[in-house]
Amino acid sequence: MYLAVGLTMTTAGESHGPALVAIVSGMPAGLVLDREAIDHDLWRRQQGYGRSPRQKLESDKIDVLSGLRHGRTLGTPLALVVWNRDHKNWTWGMSPWPPTGEPEGKGTKPVTLPRPGHADLAGVMKYELPDVRDALERASARHTAAIVAAGGVAKALLHEIDVGVSSEVMAVGGASGEEEIRAAIDGARKDRDTLGGVVEVRVKGAPPGLGSYAAKDQRLDGRLASALLGTQAVKAAEVGGGLALAELRGSEAHDEIFRDEEGYYRETNRAGGIEAGISTGQPIVVRAAMKPLPTLMRPLRSVDLETKEPAAALVERSDFSAVEALAVVCEAVVAFEMAAAARDKFGGDSIGDLLAAHRAYVERIDWAPR
Ligand code: EPS
């Protein structure tokens, strides 16, 4: 039986394995992809103050194995690949097949010192793994490169219906403003510590009516929050006024409705562009909060899984802060959910059909972005 399930993404890949892969199914045929735009987002994800030396080894680029011909989607599954350049240093340690020859390079010795805050301890317990590396490789935020590649494809679809997605770093380690953030990261680096932070993503141009109150898995806010919380290191997600709305009275918390010759409008956007799980036509505003990364150069207390004795957690190359990268990743996950919601509403065999349905709909509701 064939089930139409809309736009979906499946990813695979380990941090130091050969590659990261994203298979995107349900993209309409005839969508033109801009390779440079997707590579630019991959580049942006690698930037930021406080990033790990790993980013100097990688220069992430998108490769496509299927679903695309001469730059246009075929309406069939797109297989997107981002190669791990660093894999050449891990060919024995991360060999998919039993390695041959003498152990060499990185990853040859089992990791036995779980880091508090990482996947290490829960991962080896859950999957009965002999080596913490078997858990941490997939849990690593390196995986987000594949998400950004898929988000780039989603942005191309959104661009066709004049929907744009942007992001901003709101705070790092409680500091805001470029100077203060740099100083905070310098301070953490000096103390061999790490910092988390908050990012905001905005979607402009989305028409009213994406998502639905009919079921929880169709609620746009629920889908966005789930996608944000499904991202490495994200511990909280907010829509519009978010947590602060709980402290207000109803008379202060909602966005009053007005109408002029151009149509309905609001003077405020406390709902973050979503009411009852449906887009309102205002900018969609979501935020994600990232915990400080758990790989510390001055490690926390842990237990050696081999000896069962107290020991310091694993120390390995990592970022002091990756909040700027998270902003780019959150853009991608939000873009993907918005593209999925647009595809659900307007159909998805061909981009022409989708555009025609979008045009007819915005005409019917007499809506234009403000
Ligand atoms: C990352 C790549 C990783 C880490 C980081 C994010 O590279 P490596 O492990 O080779 O240094 O820098 O991953 C984590 C923070 C983590 O907890 O796993 C990347 O490309 O974003």
Task: Please tell me if the CB atom of residue 15 comes closer than 6 angstroms to any atom of ligand 1.
Answer: yes
* Residue, of 81 and 5, whose pLDDT is higher: 81
Q: Calculate the average pLDDT of the chain.
A: 96
- pLDDT confidence of residue 246: 98
% of the chain beyond a pLDDT of 90: 96
Residue 59 has pLDDT above 70, yes or no: yes
The mean-pLDDT minimum among 151-155, 247-251, 345-349 falls in: 345-349
Is residue 317 very low, low, confident or very high in pLDDT (cuts 50, 70, 90)?
Answer: confident
- Give the containing element (helix H, strand E) for 343: helix 323-346
Task: Please tell me if the CB atom of residue 115 comes closer than 6 angstroms to any atom of ligand 1.
Answer: no
Q: Calculate Rg over the CA atoms of the chain.
A: 22
Residue with tokens 């030396």: 53
Q: Take atom 1 of ligand 1 and give the residue whose Cα is closest.
A: 142
Task: Please tell me if the CB atom of residue 324 comes closer than 6 angstroms to any atom of ligand 1.
Answer: no
- pLDDT confidence of residue 1: 53
- pLDDT confidence of residue 44: 98
3-state SS, one letter per residue, for 100-147: CCCCCCCCCCCCCCCCCCCCHHHHHHHHCCCCCHHHHHHHCHHHHHHH
User: What is the per-residue pLDDT across 291-310, written as a single tens digit (0 to 9) for each?
Assistant: 999 999 999 999 999 999 99
Within 229-363, strands assigned E span 234-239, 257-260, 263-266, 274-275, 278-279, 284-290, 301-303, 310-312
Residue 183 CA to ligand 1 centre (angstroms): 22
Q: What does the pLDDT average to over 43-65?
A: 95
- Distance from C-alpha of 257 to C-alpha of 286, rounded to nearest angstrom: 21
- pLDDT confidence of residue 5: 78
Is residue 4 very low, low, confident or very high in pLDDT (cuts 50, 70, 90)?
Answer: low
Q: What does the pLDDT average to over 2-30?
A: 92
Residue with tokens 């594949």: 146
Task: Please tell me if the CB atom of residue 184 comes closer than 6 angstroms to any atom of ligand 1.
Answer: no
Phi-psi bin for 184: left (phi > 0), alpha (psi -120 to 50), beta?
alpha
- pLDDT confidence of residue 2: 54
Residue 84 CA to ligand 1 centre (angstroms): 12
Q: Take atom 16 of ligand 1 and give the residue whose Cα is closest.
A: 140
- Distance from C-alpha of 282 to C-alpha of 265, rounded to nearest angstrom: 8
* Residue, of 369 and 170, whose pLDDT is higher: 170
User: What is the per-residue pLDDT across 32-52, written as a single tens digit (0 to 9) for each?
Assistant: 999 999 999 999 999 999 999
User: What is the per-residue pLDDT across 337-350, written as a single tens digit (0 to 9) for each?
Assistant: 999 999 999 998 99
Is residue 187 very low, low, confident or very high in pLDDT (cuts 50, 70, 90)?
Answer: very high
- pLDDT confidence of residue 3: 56
Q: What does the pLDDT average to over 148-157?
A: 98
Q: What does the pLDDT average to over 206-214?
A: 98
Task: Please tell me if the CB atom of residue 194 comes closer than 6 angstroms to any atom of ligand 1.
Answer: no
% of the chain beyond a pLDDT of 70: 99
Q: Is 166 helix (H, G, I), strand (E, B) or coil?
A: strand
Substitution candidate for ligand 1 out of 118, 138, 319 with most atoms within 8 A of CB: 319
Q: Take atom 8 of ligand 1 and give the residue whose Cα is closest.
A: 54
Widest CA span in the chain = 76
- pLDDT confidence of residue 240: 98
CA 297 vs CA 190, 193, 293, 362: distances in Å: 10, 7, 11, 54
Residue 303 CA to ligand 1 centre (angstroms): 23
CA 178 vs CA 23, 115, 168, 281, 286: distances in Å: 36, 30, 11, 31, 21
